[in-house]
């Protein structure tokens, strides 16, 4: 159970970092993009996807 928590936590942190970096380097020039127009939206979306992606590699419980 502890491994699943840490794996998901690391995925959330890396996803949030990736989301912010996406905003910083790619972003949205017009400001009308729903996800990448603000750094908070991009960071939270990245954290969500990072957590889901990392959680998909967790060992199954019996």
Q: How many CB atoms lie within 10 A of CB 16?
A: 20
**The pLDDT of residue 58:** 74
Q: What is the pLDDT of residue 62?
A: 61
Q: Which of 8-12, 19-23, 28-32 has the lowest mean pLDDT?
A: 28-32
Question: What H or E segment, with its residue span, contains residue 51?
Answer: helix 39-55
Q: What is the pLDDT of residues 45-60, one digit of tens each?
A: 999 999 999 988 877 7
Q: Which of 13, 45, 53 is nearest to 28 (CA)?
A: 45
pTM, full prediction: 0.84
Q: What distance lies between CA 32 and its chain's CA centroid?
A: 21
Split into its structural domains, the chain has a count of 1
60, part of any domain: no
Within a domain: 37? yes
Q: Which domain holds residue 45?
A: 12-55
pLDDT > 70? residue 26: yes
In order of 12, 18, 29, 31, the CA distances from 52 in angstroms are: 8, 14, 28, 27
**Pairwise CA distance, residues 11 & 9, whole Å:** 5
Q: Is 61 part of a structural domain of the chain?
A: no
């Amino acid at each position: 159970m502890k491994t699943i928590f840490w794996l998901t936590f690391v995925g959330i942190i890396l996803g949030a970092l990736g989301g912010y970096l996406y905003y910083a380097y790619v972003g949205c020039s017009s400001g009308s993009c729903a996800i990448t127009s603000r750094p908070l939206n991009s960071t939270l979306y990245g954290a969500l996807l990072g957590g889901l992606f990392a959680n998909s590699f967790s060992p199954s419980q019996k």
